[in-house]
Structure 1
Amino acid sequence: MEFDAEPWDYLAADEAIDIEHPLVQEHAARLRTGDDIAFAHAAFDYVRDEITHSLDARDPRVTWRASDVLREGTGLCYAKSHAYTALLRAAGIQAGLCYQRLRSGDGFVLHGLTAALIDDRWVRLDPRGNKPGVDVAFSPSEDRLAYVPDGAASESDSRTVYAFPHPAVLDVLKSATDCVGLCESGALPSSLTG
């Protein structure tokens, strides 16, 4: 994997990964059981299972800040990854964000997931939420992804771990007012290049 920042940045806060927010701290403390692996697993299961995927749930609320995702209980893949990353960082586990470029109809859409340093190994984990055709579980030792990009369809899997949400993603989420409309109108970001 490649990294776009310094190691300490993968423990830092920003406007979307608001690890110092009381709600993030409260959730991290409540989920903390056992060692870092047990915590990372509990936090993964919580975000995957208890935070609905906005489009799957047909929920129009737009969330992008980790604390908002935890408060509202919903978010797109990007927002759920922000929440999982924030929970991990709040517990002192280095984590960042990764993206895949997947086919959606005649075009492409970015899919967001989390990478974390668990048991001295960086693994990519996808807390988007399970649904028919998507069944992702936690693993401390290998990547567990909801989607495997098809190179023949020009899909791609970025191996860069970003310390903070990419502007192409964050700008779209921050300007949206209807999550379902955002998804159905084809306005989700399709690449990291602008």
Structure 2
Amino acid sequence: MRQLAADLREKHPDDESFARAAFEWVRDEIRHSIDARDPRITLTASEVLAEGVGFCYAKSHLLVALLRAQGVPAGFCYQRLTDDGDAFVLHGLISVYLKDGWHRQDPRGNKPGVDARFSLGAERLAFAVGAPGEIDYPGVHAEPAAAVVSALSGATDALVLANGHLPAAL
């Protein structure tokens, strides 16, 4: 993980271009577990990098680790989202501190209907909060949410976990 961070930094010496490159690398090179239909569970940055797959949370863990490894302040953010208005799921993303402010970024991975982009202006997240009961949780967390760590640590199959067993709230 540290070698990847160093390689990206070498090609992108300023913090903003490095953060953009790290974001795009994680978004595009690490597959999202559900999109890939991949049952492997990853939690730590090194696991995500080694396996090349992870939930939004795990991808966020890798991106925060890459940024921090090169001295760029970053932390974890969360949204509570729904597809149907009845069931909710916690969605993980990150925030990076650049240009005197925190800017949320969503490395989930793009697919038809999802177009997340690195932005220090208007947010370009994978999902917008808007349905009743959805929440943009405030703040930037230094550590991953306990509910996320617990869910991923106790699981053996990502596809089973994704079928109604992901955390629904912080």
TM-score by length of 1: 0.83
Answering whether residue 111 of structure 2 is matched by residue 134 of structure 1, we say no
1:73 is matched with which residue? 52
Query: Contact 1:115/1:122 (CA < 8 Å) preserved in 2?
Result: yes
Aligned length: 167
2:157 is matched with which residue? 178
2:38 is matched with which residue? 59
Instruction: Tell me how large the CA RMSD over aligned residues is.
Output: 1.0
Is there any run of 5+ residues in structure 2 with no aligned partner, and where? none
Q: Distance in 1 between matches of 2:57 and 2:81?
A: 14
Q: Distance in 2 between matches of 1:66 and 1:140?
A: 24
Matched AA of 1:25: R
Is there any run of 5+ residues in structure 1 with no aligned partner, and where? 1-23
Match of 1:164 among 131, 135, 143: 143
TM-score by length of 2: 0.95
Query: Contact 2:76/2:141 (CA < 8 Å) preserved in 1?
Result: yes
Match of 1:123 among 99, 103, 113: 103
Q: Distance in 2 between matches of 1:130 and 1:46?
A: 12
Identical pairs, percent = 56
Offset at 1:143? 2.6
Offset at 1:104? 3.7
Q: Distance in 2 between matches of 1:86 and 1:144?
A: 21
Q: Distance in 1 between matches of 2:42 and 2:83?
A: 22
